[in-house]
């Protein structure tokens, strides 16, 4: 099952909003004879690849799969049909699929056909792997990643606002790799004004993320990289004053107006679009609002061995913040990796995954 989970992870970025799924087939003696994973959205599921690889050797054997086989017609036929045709005697699933059109139905169908079904092997690992998919299903909101680079003294930029570059080439490469597997990159108006970012993955990844700007006032530069490239890669602008952004709309951006612009309203709209993973790239105001709202699920922080100083220099996370150190958000599942001369800190908000 752990090998099936590793196979499933190969689909990260290519299968969303579907879940990542891996499968392994054992023959009746317990020998592995087939494996597969869900490789792209709309393509065959993991079970189909694994059973095709096993062929006749699957009959009387065991199928291990990281998620309950589907029992409905979607973009592909039901996986339960393929399982029953293959003649496996036992199916071991890491977890049931909460998707409403499955939700235990696949397991029930297999049991009714006489297949020995077991559920729960490595379930915590399977839930951690597909935490973004599970969150989107249960809350209607995407999984929120937060990323920033800062100096050793915790600064996001120098006192003049200059921030190029805090992190080194290896850290920037990692960020582009992250961008290339997510659905959207979110920034606030201040970042567009100060940095004129392009917000694309370079080189391109398996996904083309939407570039998302939040501006309550509707005030954005008349000329910037995002507006100039809005027809090349999607640009979404969320605002409380859509009337000020007619020029952006004319240049290809989608302008979405709210009576009151809130981060939750934006995330709800992105969820309706079936965005599974989104990335907050700043600035301090947006990250602070997300931290205050407990909206961040996963953190990617790059710490450079630089000291810039200055009491007026920005820190990465603004907002109201905690009143007492005991109220500080303490990450779980934290790892530390060298990233060139920098350190990459990765972790999760409390309770997001079982670690």
Question: 163 among the known binding-site residues?
Answer: yes
Half-sphere exposure of 214 (CA within 13 A, CB side): 26
Both tokens of 338, joined, read: 């060298």
Both tokens of 110, joined, read: 């297999």
* Phi (first) and psi of residue 56, to 5 degrees: -65, -20
Q: Which residues contact 218 (CB under 8 A, 6 or more apart)?
A: 239, 240, 241, 242, 243, 244, 245
Q: Which residues contact 201 (CB under 8 A, 6 or more apart)?
A: 176, 177, 179, 180, 207, 208, 209
Question: 116 among the known binding-site residues?
Answer: no
Question: 260 among the known binding-site residues?
Answer: no
Question: 285 among the known binding-site residues?
Answer: yes
For residue 242, how many other CB atoms are within 10 A of its CB? 16
Both tokens of 3, joined, read: 């090998």
Question: 79 among the known binding-site residues?
Answer: yes
Nearest CA to 188 out of 337, 349, 317 is that of 317
What are the CA-CA distances from residue 262 to residues 202, 242, 258, 289 (Å)? Answer: 30, 15, 8, 9
Question: 287 among the known binding-site residues?
Answer: yes
Question: 45 among the known binding-site residues?
Answer: yes
Question: 191 among the known binding-site residues?
Answer: yes
Both tokens of 214, joined, read: 């939040």
Question: 224 among the known binding-site residues?
Answer: no
Contacts of 164-171 with CB under 8 Å at 24 or more apart are 164/195, 166/302, 166/304, 166/306, 167/302, 167/304, 167/339, 167/342, 168/304, 168/339, 168/340, 168/341, 168/342, 169/340, 170/339, 170/340, 170/342, 171/302, 171/304, 171/339, 171/340, 171/342, 171/344
Question: 202 among the known binding-site residues?
Answer: yes
Catalytic residue among 16, 47, 68, 298: 47
337 is catalytic: no
Q: Which residues contact 316 (CB under 8 A, 6 or more apart)?
A: 148, 150, 154, 156, 282, 284, 287, 301
Question: 298 among the known binding-site residues?
Answer: no
Active site residues: 47
Residues in the annotated binding site for NADP(+): 149, 165, 191, 195, 199, 283-289
Residues in the annotated binding site: 45, 70, 79, 149, 163, 165, 179, 191, 195, 199, 202, 281, 283-289
Residues in the annotated binding site for Zn(2+): 45, 70, 79
Residues in the annotated binding site for substrate: 163, 179, 202, 281
């Amino acid at each position: 099952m752990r090998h099936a989970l590793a196979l499933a992870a190969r689909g990260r970025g290519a299968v969303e909003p579907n879940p990542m799924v891996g499968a392994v087939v054992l023959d009746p003696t317990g020998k592995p004879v087939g494996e597969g994973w869900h490789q792209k959205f709309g393509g065959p599921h993991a079970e189909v690849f694994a059973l095709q690889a096993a062929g006749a050797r699957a009959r009387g054997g065991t199928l291990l799969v990281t998620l309950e086989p589907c029992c409905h017609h979607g973009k592909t036929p039901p996986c339960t049909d393929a399982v029953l045709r293959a003649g496996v005697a036992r199916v071991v699933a890491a977890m049931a699929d909460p998707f409403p059109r499955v939700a235990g139905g696949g397991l029930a169908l297999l049991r009714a056909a006489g297949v020995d079904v077991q559920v729960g092997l490595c379930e915590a690992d399977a839930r951690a792997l597909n935490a973004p998919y599970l969150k989107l299903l249960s809350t209607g909101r995407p999984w929120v990643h937060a990323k920033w680079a800062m100096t050793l003294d915790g600064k996001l930029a120098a006192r003049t606002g200059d921030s190029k570059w805090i992190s080194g080439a290896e850290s920037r490469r990692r960020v582009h790799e992250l961008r290339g597997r997510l659905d959207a990159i979110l920034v606030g108006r201040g970042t567009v004004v100060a940095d004129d970012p392009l917000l694309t993955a370079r080189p391109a990844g398996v996904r083309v993320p939407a570039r998302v700007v939040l501006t309550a006032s509707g005030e954005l530069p008349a000329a910037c990289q995002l507006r100039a490239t809005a027809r090349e890669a999607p640009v979404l602008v969320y605002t409380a004053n859509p009337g000020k952004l007619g020029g952006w709309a004319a240049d290809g951006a989608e302008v979405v107006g709210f009576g009151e612009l809130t981060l939750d309203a934006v995330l709800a709209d992105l969820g309706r679009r079936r965005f599974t993973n989104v990335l907050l790239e700043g600035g301090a105001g947006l990250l602070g609002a997300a931290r205050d709202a407990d909206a961040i699920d996963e953190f990617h922080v790059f710490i450079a061995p630089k000291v810039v100083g200055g009491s007026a220099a920005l820190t990465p996370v603004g907002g109201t913040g905690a009143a007492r150190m005991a109220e500080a958000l303490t990450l779980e599942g934290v790892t530390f990796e060298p990233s060139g001369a920098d350190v990459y800190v990765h972790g999760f908000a409390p309770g997001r995954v079982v670690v």
